[in-house]
């Protein structure tokens, strides 16, 4: 019984998908009087750029972004190595409270270093994008 109801529901959905709805004509503003020049449209003007100039600006942007990414990963690796060393030193401690405090300080220092590196990366990428936009604006013909 459930299969029969499912087949009916599926058939109804399929029928609704293939139902043809007539399109209503729209007034385009072109009437019999339009032949006399009463309706005029102006084509949109497209901004033209010097392709070589834009390509040079894009290459400079890509180089700057790549340098920002490289600096970020270098800073992140250094922060991770520092944390690794601090945690290794903390593991040699015998006092549990001091050990927990040293590990927490190492984690906090890592988080701060990571956040600083990310902020530097974002700033460098934003500068690269601003420089690109300025250079691209200068490439207009």
Q: Which residue has the tokens 């890509």?
A: 62
CA dihedral 89, 92, 93, 96 (to 10 degrees): 100
* Whether pLDDT at 6 is above 70: no
Region 53-77: what's the mean pLDDT? 96
| pLDDT score, position 49 | 87
Q: Which residues of 19-30 are buried (b: 16+ CB within 10 A; e: fewer)?
A: eeeeeeeeeeee
pLDDT in tens, 77-109: 999 999 999 999 999 999 999 999 999 999 999
pTM: 0.62
Instruction: Specify the higher pLDDT residue, 108 or 47.
Output: 108
The rounded distance, in Å, linking the Cα atoms of 71 and 67 is 6
* Whether pLDDT at 21 is above 80: no
């Amino acid at each position: 019984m459930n299969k029969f109801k499912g087949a009916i529901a599926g058939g109804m959905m399929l029928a609704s998908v293939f139902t043809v709805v007539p399109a209503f004509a729209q007034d385009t503003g072109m009437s019999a009087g339009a032949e006399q020049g009463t309706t005029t449209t102006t084509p949109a003007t497209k901004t033209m750029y010097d392709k070589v100039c834009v390509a040079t600006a894009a290459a400079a942007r890509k180089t700057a972004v790549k340098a920002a990414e490289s600096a970020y990963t270098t800073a992140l690796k250094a922060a991770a190595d520092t944390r690794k060393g601090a945690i290794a030193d903390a593991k040699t401690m015998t006092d549990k409270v001091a050990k927990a405090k040293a590990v927490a300080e190492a984690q906090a220092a890592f988080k701060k270093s990571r956040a600083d590196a990310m902020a530097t990366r974002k700033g460098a990428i934003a500068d690269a994008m601003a420089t690109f936009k300025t250079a691209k604006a200068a490439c207009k013909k």
